[in-house]
Amino acid sequence: MIDIAFRVDASLEIGTGHVMRCLTLATALREHHAARCCFLCRELPGHLIARIEAEGFEVLRLVAPAAAETSHSGQGAGEPAHAAWLGVDWSQDARESADLLAPLAPDWLVVDHYALDARWESAVRPSGTRLLIIDDLADREHIADLLLDQNLGRLAEDYAGLVPANCQLMIGPDYALLRPEFAEWRRPSLDRRDSRPGLSQLLISQGGVDKDNVTAEVLQALRYTGLPRTCRITVVMGATAPWIEVVKRVADTLEQPTEVVTSVSDMARRMAEADLAIGAAGSTSWERCCLGLPTLMLVLAENQRDIAAALERAGAAIRLDSGALGEDLSLVLTHVMDARYLAGMSESAARLVDGEGVKRLRAALAP
C-alpha cells in the first residue's frame, strides 16, 4: 500500500480541471494499488472540497484567505505568473501545508497548481517523500522526481533547466489523465461516427465554472448561424458555475431543442453521442479527442492558447474568436455541417489520445 497526498485547488478563478484530473488519478491508485490518498485544498470561493469528500477521500483544509491577504497576493518580482491563484503568499501556504503533511509522511506528494514552484516544494516536501508535478505551462522551476505535462506540442526540452537532470518526464497527450469511462466509450463513439456521420447533436461545455458567462454568449450567437432546427443541443455546466440560471433562460428561447444539465456523471456518454462540441481549450480537450469529438474551441484563458493552436494544427479543432463569435460560428458551421469535413476532424482528434494515460502514470507510481 502506498500513501499519496495531493496539493490542488479549485476556485472561480482556477476552475475545476486541476481537481478533477487529480481525482481521476487518486481513484485509479485506490482501485489498483490500494493507495491511501488525501487532498490538501484551500477553501477558496468555488472550491470542490465537498466533491472530493463525496468520492471518499479525506480533505485536509487550508483556511480561506482573509480579505487583506487576498488583496496582497498578486504577482511580485520572481513570482509565478499565476501566484494570485493561491489566495495567500506562497510561504504561508508552505508553512500550513508542511504542518498538515508532517504526520502523514506520504510516499508521494502530487502538486497540481500553477501558483507553486520549487521554493514551495523545497519547504514542504517531507523527508523520503517523492514529488510528482502535474503541469501545463513549463514556466517555473520544480524539484520533481516525476513531471507530467499532457499537452499536445509540448517537448521534453521545454523543461530543460526547470527540473533536475534525473527527473522522469511524461510528456504529451499519451499521458492525458482521463477517467476510465472515456477509454470504455472510445470504440462505440468512433463506430457511431463511422456509421452515422453528420451534425444532429451539439454539445456545449465551457468548463466547470465559466465565470465570464461565455456559454450564454455562444447560445445567443447560435441564433444567427443557420443551425438546423432539428439539431439537439446539450449544455453541460458545473454545479458552481455562477450563470446557470441565465444560461437556462437563454436556452429556453432557442428554436432548437436545448437542455441545460449540471454535475453530470455520464460525460463520456454525452460526448460519444454528440457530433460536434463547442468548448473551452482546457483539459477536457483530451476527453473530446479520445472520443473523436470535433470541437469548435474558445480560448478562455491565456494558458489555453498553445493547446488550442496545437489542436487546430492537428485538424482536431477550429478556434473561434470570442470577439466575433456570431460571425465566426456562422462561417465555421457551414463547413462542419458537411459530413465529410466533420468526419475528417473526428479522425484527426481520435489519433491524438487513446485514453490510457492514467494507466501509464499509475505504473510509474507503483511501489
> The domain spanning residue 10 has which CATH number?
3.40.50.11190
Shared domain check, 133 and 13: yes
Residue with cell 502530487: 110
Domain boundary residue, one of 154, 171, 188: 171
Task: Read off the pLDDT of each residue in 300-312 and give the average, rounded to a whole number.
Answer: 86
Tens digits of residue pLDDT in 7-31: 999 999 998 999 999 999 999 999 9
Looking at residue 97, what is its pLDDT? 98
One domain for residues 188 and 329: yes
- Identify the pLDDT of residue 260: 96
Give me the pLDDT at residue 69, please: 55
CATH number at residue 193: 3.40.50.2000
Q: What is the pLDDT of residue 7?
A: 98
Give the per-residue pLDDT at 261: 95
Residues 218 and 113 in one domain: no
pLDDT at 359: 96
Is the domain of 31 the same as that of 154? yes
Query: Residue 67: pLDDT band by 50, 70, 90 thresholds?
Result: low
- Give a yes or no: residue 365 inside a domain: no
Q: Give the end of a domain, one of 118, 137, 171.
A: 171
Q: What average pLDDT does range 353-359 have in this prediction? A: 96
Report yes or no: 164 and 144 within 8 Å, Cβ to Cβ: yes
* DSSP code string of 280-338: ESSTHHHHHHHTT--EEEE--SGGGHHHHHHHHHTTSEEEE-GGGHHHHHHHHHHHHTS
Output the nine-digit C-alpha cell for 144. Answer: 520533481
The cell for 304 is 489555453
Where in the sequence is the domain holding 339, given as residue range(s)?
Answer: 180-350
Whether 158 and 271 map to the same domain: the answer is no
The residue ranking higher by pLDDT, 324 or 152, is: 152
Residues 97 and 203 in one domain: no
Residues 301 and 154 reside in one and the same domain = no
Coil, helix or strand for 108? strand
Choose one of 171, 190, 216: the last residue of a domain. 171
86 found inside a domain: yes
Q: What is the rounded distance in angstroms from the CA atom of residue 99 to the CA atom of residue 80?
A: 23
* Residue 322, pLDDT score: 67
Looking at residues 319-335, what average pLDDT do you find?
A: 79
* Torsions phi, psi for 29 (to 5 deg): -70, -40
For 236-259, the pLDDT digits (tens) are 998 888 899 999 999 999 999 999
Do 23 and 43 fall into the same domain?
yes
pLDDT at 165 over 80: yes
Whether the CB-CB separation of 182 and 350 falls below 8 Å is answered with no
| pLDDT of residue 366 exceeding 90 | no
Sign of CA dihedral 355, 357, 363, 365: negative
What proportions of the chain, in percent to the nearest 5, are helix, strand and coil? 40, 20, 40
The answer, yes or no, to whether residue 72 has pLDDT greater than 50, is no
Q: How many domains does the chain have?
A: 2
